[in-house]
């Protein structure tokens, strides 16, 4: 049976040729109210391999993409967790997502999470820092989405990596959280294209909220942490409603 839930969209990121949309459930926007138990993440997914959602499934009427900080009404069929991605819900493709509002920085602060770390650290890819976890340790990972606040983010735009399929520059976000350094691939399309347009180099964002997601298993034996959404304080001064 289809249920309707209302989310603050905190990610609409690239995934397997489609997108990964995710957000935290709220009960109301005026006044702003979280569920009574705790912040609950929801990731609407398809029933196709890879579980990405396509344009028709994720876009509003008129082909408009959901943006981070949008308040979105979404129709879901059932809870459908996949290993450590416990937040997955099967999307009802017959009912379009609907934008019902938008939040600002003050409301975003109410959604902040303060984990002791971003899951398991100590494993680095060639160009990353604390950006992956061996599949042998995935049983220790109990969820796959976090919304954290950091003092600053350094965006690094570099040459295309050897495994790149499109030959476009890489974009990574480097930040420090809970005493650990991270350098993670950016899958947030807005920030990825924004900084690619600036050219190769390093750029600084001030205080920011970062949505960190753990993607599905990769064929190299690891699961990877990615930056699926970002809001810096300069971009977030938007009105609610």
Confidence (pLDDT) at 237: 38
Confidence (pLDDT) at 29: 75
CATH number listed for the domain at residues 132-232:
2.40.50
CA atoms within 13 A on the CB side of 155: 26
Q: Which of 164, 161, 186, 160 is nearest to 173 (CA)?
A: 186
Of all helices (H) and strands (E), which one includes residue 147?
A: strand 145-150
Q: CA 44 to CA 35: how far, in whole Å? A: 18
CA dihedral 218, 173, 149, 17 (to 10 degrees): -40
For residue 165 the two structure tokens come to 């399929």
Q: Tens digit of pLDDT for each residue in 3-14?
A: 999 999 999 998
Measured between its terminal Cα atoms, the distance across the chain in Å is: 29
Q: Tens digit of pLDDT for each residue in 176-195?
A: 999 999 999 999 999 999 99
Burial of 233 (0-12, 13-18, 19+ CB in 10 A): middle
- Low-confidence stretches of the chain (pLDDT < 70) are 16, 36-37, 164, 234-241
Q: CA 59 to CA 239: how far, in whole Å? A: 22
Of all helices (H) and strands (E), which one includes residue 128?
A: none
Q: CA 33 to CA 42: how far, in whole Å? A: 16
Residue ranges per structural domain of the chain: 3-103, 132-232
Task: Give me the DSSP letters along 196-232.
Answer: HTT-SEEEEE-SEEEEEEEPSPPTTSEEEEEEEEEEE
Confidence (pLDDT) at 32: 81
Confidence (pLDDT) at 241: 30
Full-model pTM: 0.92
3-state secondary structure of 40: coil
């Amino acid at each position: 049976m289809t249920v309707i839930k209302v989310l603050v969209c905190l990610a609409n990121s690239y995934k397997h040729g489609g997108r990964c949309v995710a957000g935290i459930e709220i009960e109301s926007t005026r006044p702003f109210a979280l569920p009574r138990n705790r912040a609950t993440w929801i990731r609407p997914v398809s029933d196709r391999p890879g579980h990405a959602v396509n344009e028709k499934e994720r876009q509003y009427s008129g082909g408009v993409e959901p943006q981070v900080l949008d308040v979105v009404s979404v129709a879901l069929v059932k809870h459908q967790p996949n290993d450590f991605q416990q937040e997955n819900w099967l999307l009802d493709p017959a009912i379009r997502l609907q934008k019902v509002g938008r939040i600002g920085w003050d409301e975003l602060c109410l959604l902040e999470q303060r984990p002791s770390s971003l899951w398991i650290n100590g494993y680095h890819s060639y160009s990353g820092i604390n950006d992956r976890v061996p599949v042998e340790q995935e049983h220790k990972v109990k969820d796959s989405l976090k919304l954290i606040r950091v003092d600053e983010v350094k965006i690094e735009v570099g040459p295309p990596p050897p495994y790149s399929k499109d030959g476009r520059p890489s974009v990574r976000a480097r930040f420090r959280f809970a005493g650990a350094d991270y350098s993670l691939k950016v899958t947030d399309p807005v920030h990825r294209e924004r900084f690619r347009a600036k050219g190769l180099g390093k750029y600084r964002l001030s205080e920011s909220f970062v949505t960190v997601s753990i993607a599905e298993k990769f064929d190299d034996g690891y699961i990877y942490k990615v930056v699926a959404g970002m809001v810096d304080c300069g971009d977030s001064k938007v009105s609610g409603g």
